[in-house]
Structure 1
Amino acid sequence: AAWLLEPDLHRQPLAQLMATYLPDSPTTDAPDAPDPSTSLIPLWRALESRLRDAVLWSLWERLERPLIPVLAAMEQRGMPLNVTVLQRLEGRKEGGGEGGEGSAA
């Protein structure tokens, strides 16, 4: 959800999300800080509110949320790439040859 609000920031750690969206909560590195998991529900409520305010809730509900299991599985298993095909595509792009912009691959 945070990615929709700030797409330029990738893989924000929980502590950073809490600092951004729950600025009044204690920092996770403080000696007397509560378990970070206790902040998950307030964090979600803050994110939900911001998504609604930014008119991004529908995008979250229809596209992003349903992709969570797919993205989690990809992250766990990895994503195989065909390096040969990628190199061929890169060559086409650099050389401006067939398959470049406007061409069907």
Structure 2
Amino acid sequence: MQGEFPKLISAVQKQERVKRCGQFLSLCDSRQKEDLDSIVTGDKTMVLYHDPLPKKQLMEWRRPSSPRPKKAKVTQSQTKIMATKFWDSEGILLVDFEERNTTVTGEYYASLLH
């Protein structure tokens, strides 16, 4: 499975992330473990997939003297799908696969989490 490359962010965006992380760490100091365990996070990425035929489907009966069958070169499918995953402190909660060009909105996330 291939993930996306990290996006380049500006110095201002980096500062904002540092500020938000500091706020989150302050929250961690003042909250109980149960509150922190209730946090759910998510991510999305585009993945390539390949659906090869099982070996049983490739088997055939032939005589020992028969020439070996010619095999076509297997190429990976260039089909991409969007994988959206959510997890908490216990592990993965949900993995969803959507067609390429799916618009990701707040409604999309809300319907997944519902």
Fold similarity call, TM over 0.5: no
Using the size of structure 2 for normalisation, the TM-score is 0.25
Give the strand-richer structure, 1 or 2.
Answer: 2
Using the size of structure 1 for normalisation, the TM-score is 0.26
Give the helix-richer structure, 1 or 2.
Answer: 1
Larger Rg belongs to: 2
Select the structure with the greater relative contact order (CA < 8 A; seq sep ≥ 6): 2
